[in-house]
């Protein structure tokens, strides 16, 4: 057993264990930290596979950006809303386990039978080295062969940015006619429209929570909806 | 010149589109303006085309496009060609000329109608279809127009669709015409399988290739086409729709059901004269049917009380004249009568419309009388038209009818000619019965409520314009008898020489030979004149005695011939026969199909499927929980199944 | 690399994927579900890169880059949605949201 194999088993074991931690931890914050560790280990796996650039991207984007975003959201959501939720109904859980095991068995079969092969590509390790390394090669290919998908991906990101901004807008920007176009539930009787309808009639909407002053986080406030027959 | 022949049918079509699409938006009532302009332009272009035909003696034509010209379609090549020869000339001048006058008249007559623009749209569409019918140079284009005029006839008879009788009459006309059109269609199929083409002329055309075809098949074609003509021209058993068609507005009756559309059958048979001459049996049938219709319609006309129905039956009767003239082989007199009839019958209808208009929509002659003082222009023009219809000497109708009768006699059917003269006597009688009942004697309406008045100039001017040719056309084109200008004009069509270079060459020899000797002896001509004159005057005199002075009691006559009166009054029980033989059994059949087949069987299937779907859906909707996790579970299940399927079949798939 | 084969990496990928899937299916906390989805995406990346490595192709890594891009976009929108949801619902429980039923 050479070092690479040993390292692989180490990384893989930690990645799988922490992944299990993500899924089974009671506290979402613990889950998030387990996810960070899992991602870091997967980044190590990438290095083993000779994908140094992706390993770096994995660390920067996932652990650096996405995970921090997760933690932010966890902080923003009021703690009482984060109270531990029991897992899904028993039938659902049992079925999920059944399906998970079945899928793993099937995938194992696929891997064991070795049917997953394909034609060899033009970039064995020597070629990669000749091109100046992994990062240079990815750059060259990405901006030549995959230029169009790359540009499309940039559009997807742009849309995501706009969507995130709209979703994050405080509700006071979402009143009036403009809200109709931005509402989460277009023409739906529940959701923002019902709130607006109630506002127009000057009565509190039955299900509309009191959101407090827009833009503030009122941690001392009682759980909204409590005692309203919900 | 030939490049703008297409304007003739196009202008009314444009007017139709314009009126139908924009007519409702016109401020005020000027939906007639586009129609008037279109008709005027079409008339002028037609006139120019006819002048050209007159100058050169050759037909003019313009091919617009060819439909399905591929050789792999078995030679099914339909050129949309506008073709104008001497025969077409007569028709397009009648259609556009009389059509123009009737359009003018309609602006007055329909002035108070809320559907003003719709009326003019339909009327223009009709003129378009009628022009296509006569301008086409093959049977298919003719059939296109043929169906088009049928549609417009339906639309216009049912113009006042909120009146049940109008709707029923429209449906009746449409359905009866369908029967005829079916015959026409089968005839066309037979023509195509026999000749491989539907074109009239040219070396490949039908009329140039009649020789060598079996007389049996030609007879069959001729009879089938005549079935179509029977429908359109209301002949024989298919006559029943035309009297009911009077439910439409009066200008419609004048244009469609007197002057133009109903003559389409006559036109078609004259156009196909070469074919008919090669099928003498078919011609004989045409003669008999025409004669019978002519006689029966005249007898019914004797006893009608509705002013428009008198006109309707006289139209059927006059069409019978034309048809039996065709059947006798007297084609030129048939067209001559078609032309004069178009003028004086349009005049009569418009005059009747003027009377109805002035009498506040009253159509029953028994409630009129003495109107000549209150509507002098209508009276004068109606008398002119009636004189022409009655065949009063030297009027237009006199010459054309006389030519038909003499021609029929001369072609070898003296018996038919004698029946024709009897009908002429009846025609004169019922025409002037109408005049005397309507305009003479004492008023039989309530002067307190009804104030008859003369119609506005927009209505009377067309009447005057039509009265002049009704009186004088015969002298202009009919003299000398059997050799007048109309004969010289139409001669080329039937000689096959100058007119159509190749048309009916084989038949033409025989026809031309016949034409050479086609001048009846002097005794027949003079005798015909004398008989026509005497019978016409006798009819008018009898009408005067019975309805003008009351010297002979009409009631007494009715009682003496009670059986005949009942027969005539009930229209020879034609409608009742149809009711018993066709409508009632169909009704029973429809009821069975409805109650059992439709409501029981088909609805059962439909409702069963609906119930099944609904029930299954009721169960399936439970799956839709709205909880995302459950949906994700379904996705996972799908994934497992797909991977499983891949495992079982995958390698083999990849190997393939 | 020696004894390391494609199978090793694919097995790791499959394990991670199934664990993520279990998370998605068994948890009700939408935050955890999101993390599990990220886990599944990562598992896919592992197999993509492994295939690219063992088949001498760079396309696997390119695909992985696109997957990461989509994952980032998804995270941004998804977390935004979670925020709005908690503002309206005071809960991160997915089973309490059943608007899809209506």
**pLDDT of A81:** 60
Pick the closest to residue B427 from B340, B300, B544, B335 (CA basis).
Answer: B300
In this prediction, the residues of chain B whose per-residue pLDDT falls under 70 are 1-2, 27-28, 70-75, 481, 496-519, 650-656
**pLDDT of B64:** 86
The answer to whether residue C47 is domain-embedded is yes
What is the C-alpha separation between B13 and A228, in angstroms, rounded? 72
Would you call B278 helix, strand, or coil by DSSP? coil
**pLDDT of A226:** 41
Average pLDDT estimate for A9-27: 90
Would you call B445 helix, strand, or coil by DSSP? coil
| Contacts A113 to B, Cβ<8 Å | 651
**pLDDT of A218:** 46
User: What is the nearest CA distance from B640 to chain A, expressed in angstroms?
Assistant: 5
HEC secondary structure over B281-350? HHHHHHHHHHHHHHHHHHHHHCCCCEHHHHHHHHHHHHHHHHHHHHHHCCHHHHHHHHHHHHHHHHHHHH
**Runs of H (alpha helix) within B570-602:** 574-578, 584-592
CATH numbers and ranges of domains, chain A: 1-81 (1.20.120.1200), 146-208 (no CATH)
Cβ <8 Å between A137 and C90: no
Residue of B nearest to C23 (CA): B629
Residue C45 has pLDDT above 50, yes or no: yes
Nearest Cβ partner for B632 among C24, C98, C102: C24
Would you call B495 helix, strand, or coil by DSSP? helix
Residue A184 has pLDDT above 70, yes or no: no
**Runs of H (alpha helix) within B452-582:** 457-478, 485-495, 505-516, 522-543, 554-560, 562-569, 574-578
**CB contact residues (below 8 A), chain C span 45-74, against chain A:** 45-46, 49-53, 55-59, 61-62, 64-66, 68-74
| Contacts B627 to C, Cβ<8 Å | 94-95, 97-98, 100
User: What is the nearest CA distance from B111 to chain A, expressed in angstroms?
Assistant: 51
HEC secondary structure over chain A? CCHHHHHHHHHHHHHHHHHHHHHHCCCHHHHHHHHHHHHHHHHHHHHHCCCHHHHHHHHHHHHHHHHHHHHHHHHHCCHHHHCCCCCCCHHHHHHHHHHHHHHHHHHHHHHHHCCCCCCCCCCCHHHHHHCCCHHHHHHHHHCCCCHHHHHHHHHHHHHHHHHHHHHHCCHHHHCCHHHHHHCCCCCCCCCHHHHHHHHHHCCCCCCCCCCCCCCCCCCCCCCCCCCCCC
**CB contact residues (below 8 A), chain A span 70-109, against chain B:** 88, 92, 95-96, 99-100, 102-103, 106-107, 109
The answer to whether residue C66 is domain-embedded is yes
| Contacts C93 to A, Cβ<8 Å | 85
Residue A109 has pLDDT above 50, yes or no: yes
pTM given for the model: 0.63
**pLDDT of B503:** 39
ipTM: 0.89
> Tens digit of pLDDT for each residue in B439-483?
888 888 877 777 788 888 888 899 999 999 888 888 888 777 677
Find which of C65, C66, C83, C94 to mutate to test the A interface (most A CBs within 10 Å of its CB): C65
Q: Is B636 on the interface with A (CB under 8 A)?
A: yes
As given in the structure block, the two tokens for residue B9 are: 């049918």
Nearest Cβ partner for A115 among B633, B637, B650: B650
**pLDDT of B633:** 87
Nearest Cβ partner for A123 among C9, C20, C56: C56
User: What is the nearest CA distance from C99 to chain B, expressed in angstroms?
Assistant: 6
Cβ <8 Å between C101 and B628: no
The answer to whether residue C84 is domain-embedded is yes
Question: C99 falls in which pLDDT band (50, 70, 90)?
Answer: low
Is residue A116 within 8 A of residue C10, CB to CB? The reply is yes
Residue C20 sits in a domain whose CATH number is 1.10.287.3510
> Tens digit of pLDDT for each residue in B484-522?
788 888 888 887 533 343 434 444 444 544 554 556 777
Is residue B157 within 8 A of residue B166, CB to CB? The reply is yes
**pLDDT of C63:** 92
> Tens digit of pLDDT for each residue in B56-72?
888 888 888 888 776 66
The answer to whether residue C68 is domain-embedded is yes
What is the C-alpha separation between A99 and C19, in angstroms, rounded? 11
> Tens digit of pLDDT for each residue in A133-156?
888 888 888 888 888 999 999 999
Pick the closest to residue C60 from C46, C43, C41 (CA basis).
Answer: C46
Which of the residue ranges A184-188, B139-143, C20-24 would you say has the lowest mean pLDDT?
A184-188
Question: A230 falls in which pLDDT band (50, 70, 90)?
Answer: very low
Cβ <8 Å between A161 and C86: no
User: What is the nearest CA distance from A106 to chain B, expressed in angstroms?
Assistant: 7
Cβ <8 Å between A4 and C45: no
What is the C-alpha separation between B517 and A157, in angstroms, rounded? 98
| Upper half-sphere CA count for residue B562 (Cβ side, 13 Å) | 2
What is the C-alpha separation between B23 and B29, in angstroms, rounded? 9
What total number of domains does chain C contain?
Answer: 1
Cβ <8 Å between C39 and A38: yes
| Contacts C74 to A, Cβ<8 Å | 160
Contact partners for chain C, using 3 or more CB pairs closer than 8 A, are A, B
Percentage of chain A beyond pLDDT 90 is: 22
| Contacts C71 to A, Cβ<8 Å | 62, 66
From residue B374, how far is each of B297, B358, B396, B466 by CA, in Å? 31, 9, 27, 21
Q: How many cross-chain Cβ pairs, B to C, lie less than 8 Å apart? A: 29
**CB contact residues (below 8 A), chain B span 593-632, against chain C:** 624-629, 631-632
What is the C-alpha separation between B402 and B419, in angstroms, rounded? 13
Q: Which residues lie below 8 Å from residue A111, measured CB to CB, with a gap of 6+?
A: C7, C10, C11, C14
Cβ <8 Å between A99 and B637: yes
**pLDDT of A83:** 60
Nearest Cβ partner for B639 among A95, A103, A113: A103
**pLDDT of B13:** 93
Domain that holds residue C17: 6-91
As given in the structure block, the two tokens for residue B583 are: 């409508």
Percentage of chain A beyond pLDDT 70 is: 67
What is the C-alpha separation between B258 and B340, in angstroms, rounded? 11
Pick the closest to residue C26 from A18, A67, A91 (CA basis).
Answer: A91
> Tens digit of pLDDT for each residue in B3-42?
788 889 999 999 999 888 887 777 667 778 888 999 999 9
**Average pLDDT across chain C, whole number:** 85
Average pLDDT estimate for C50-63: 88
As given in the structure block, the two tokens for residue B62 are: 């313009």
Question: A229 falls in which pLDDT band (50, 70, 90)?
Answer: very low
Is residue A28 within 8 A of residue A81, CB to CB? The reply is no
């Amino acid at each position: 057993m050479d070092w690479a194999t040993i390292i692989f088993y180490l990384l893989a074991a930690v990645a799988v264990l922490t992944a299990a931690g993500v899924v089974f931890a009671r506290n979402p914050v613990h889950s998030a930290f387990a996810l960070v560790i899992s991602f870091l280990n997967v980044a190590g796996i990438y290095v083993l596979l000779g994908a140094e650039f992706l390993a770096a991207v994995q660390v920067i984007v996932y652990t650096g950006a996405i995970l921090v975003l997760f933690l932010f959201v966890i902080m923003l959501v009021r703690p009482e809303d984060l109270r531990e939720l029991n897992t899904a109904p028993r039938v659902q859980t049992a079925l999920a386990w059944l399906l998970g095991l079945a899928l793993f068995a099937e995938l194992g079969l696929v891997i064991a039978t070795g049917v997953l092969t394909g034609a060899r590509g033009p970039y064995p390790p020597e070629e990669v080295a000749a091109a100046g390394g992994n990062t240079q090669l990815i750059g060259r290919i990405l901006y030549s062969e995959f230029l169009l998908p790359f540009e499309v991906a940039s559009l997807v990101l742009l849309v995501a940015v706009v969507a995130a901004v709209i979703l994050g807008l405080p509700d006071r920007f979402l009143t009036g006619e403009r809200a109709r176009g931005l509402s989460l539930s277009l023409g739906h009787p529940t959701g923002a429209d019902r709130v607006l309808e109630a506002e127009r009639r000057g009565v509190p909407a039955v299900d509309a929570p009191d959101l407090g002053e827009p833009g503030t986080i009122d941690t001392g406030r009682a759980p909204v909806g409590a005692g309203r027959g919900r | 010149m030939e490049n703008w022949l297409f304007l003739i049918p196009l202008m009314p079509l444009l007017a139709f589109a314009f009126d139908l699409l924009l007519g409702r938006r016109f401020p005020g009532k000027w939906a007639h303006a586009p129609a008037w302009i279109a008709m005027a332009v079409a008339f002028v272009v037609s006139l120019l085309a006819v002048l050209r035909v007159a100058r050169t003696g050759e037909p003019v034509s313009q091919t617009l496009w060819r439909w399905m010209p591929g050789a792999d379609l078995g030679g099914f090549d339909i050129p949309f060609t506008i073709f104008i020869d001497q025969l077409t000339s007569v028709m397009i001048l009648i259609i556009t000329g009389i059509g123009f006058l009737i359009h003018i008249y309609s602006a007055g007559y329909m002035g108070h109608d809320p559907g003003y623009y719709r009326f003019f749209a339909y009327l223009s569409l009709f003129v378009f279809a009628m022009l296509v019918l006569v301008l086409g140079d093959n049977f298919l284009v003719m059939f296109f127009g043929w169906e088009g005029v049928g549609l417009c006839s339906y639309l216009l008879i049912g113009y006042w669709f909120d009146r049940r009788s109008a709707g029923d009459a429209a449906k009746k006309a449409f359905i009866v015409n369908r029967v005829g059109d079916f015959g026409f269609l089968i005839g066309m199929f037979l023509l195509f399988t026999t000749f491989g083409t539907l074109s009239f002329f040219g070396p490949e055309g039908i009329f140039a290739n009649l020789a060598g075809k079996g007389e049996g098949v030609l007879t069959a074609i001729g009879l089938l086409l005549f079935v179509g003509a029977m429908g359109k021209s209301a002949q024989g058993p298919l006559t029943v729709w035309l009297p009911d068609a009077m439910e439409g507005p009066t200008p419609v009756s004048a244009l469609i059901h007197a002057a133009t559309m109903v003559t389409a059958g006559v036109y078609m048979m004259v156009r196909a004269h070469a074919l008919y001459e090669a099928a003498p049996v078919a011609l004989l049938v045409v003669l008999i049917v025409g004669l019978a219709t002519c006689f029966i319609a005249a007898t019914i006309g004797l006893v009608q009380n509705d002013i428009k129905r008198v006109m309707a039956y006289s139209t059927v009767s006059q069409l019978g004249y034309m048809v039996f003239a065709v059947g006798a082989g007297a084609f030129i007199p048939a067209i001559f009568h078609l032309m004069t009839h178009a003028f004086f019958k349009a005049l009569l209808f418009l005059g009747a419309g003027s009377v109805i208009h002035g009498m506040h929509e009253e159509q029953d002659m028994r409630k009129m009388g003495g109107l000549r003082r209150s509507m002098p222009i209508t009276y004068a023009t109606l008398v002119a038209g009636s004189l022409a219809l009655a065949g009063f000497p030297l009027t237009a109708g006199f010459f054309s009818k006389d030519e038909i009768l003499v021609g029929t006699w001369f072609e070898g059917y003296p018996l038919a000619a004698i029946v024709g003269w009897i009908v002429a006597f009846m025609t004169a009688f019922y025409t002037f019965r109408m005049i005397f009942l309507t305009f003479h004697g004492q008023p039989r309406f309530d002067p307190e409520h009804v104030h008859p008045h003369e119609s506005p100039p927009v209505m009377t001017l067309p009447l005057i314009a039509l009265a002049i040719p009704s009186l004088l056309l015969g002298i202009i084109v009919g003299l000398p008898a059997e050799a007048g200008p109309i004969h010289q004009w139409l001669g080329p069509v039937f000689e096959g020489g100058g007119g159509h270079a190749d048309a009916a060459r084989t038949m033409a020899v025989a026809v031309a030979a016949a034409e050479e000797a086609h001048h009846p002896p002097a005794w027949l001509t003079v005798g015909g004149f004398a008989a026509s004159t005497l019978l016409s005057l006798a009819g008018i005199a009898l009408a005067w005695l019975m309805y003008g002075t009351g010297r002979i009691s009409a009631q007494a006559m009715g009682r003496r011939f009670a059986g005949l009166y009942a027969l005539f009054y009930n229209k020879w029980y034609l409608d009742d026969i149809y009711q018993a033989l066709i409508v009632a059994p169909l009704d029973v059949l429809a009821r069975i199909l409805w109650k059992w087949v439709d409501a029981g069987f088909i609805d059962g299937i439909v409702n069963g499927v609906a119930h099944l779907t609904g029930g299954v859906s009721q169960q399936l909707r439970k799956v839709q929980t709205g909880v995302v996790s459950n949906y994700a579970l379904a996705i996972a299940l799908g994934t497992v199944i797909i991977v499983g399927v891949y495992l079982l079949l995958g390698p083999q798939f990849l190997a393939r | 690399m020696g004894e390391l084969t494609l199978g090793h990496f694919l097995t790791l990928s499959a394990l991670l994927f199934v664990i993520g899937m279990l998370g998605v299916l068994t948890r009700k906390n939408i935050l955890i579900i999101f993390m599990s989805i990220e886990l599944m995406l990562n598992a896919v990346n592992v197999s993509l890169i492994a295939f690219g490595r063992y088949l001498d192709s760079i396309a696997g890594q390119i695909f992985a880059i696109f997957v990461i891009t989509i994952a980032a976009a998804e995270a941004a929108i998804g977390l935004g949605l979670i925020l709005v949801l908690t503002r309206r619902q005071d809960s991160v429980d997915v089973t309490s949201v059943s608007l899809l039923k209506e």
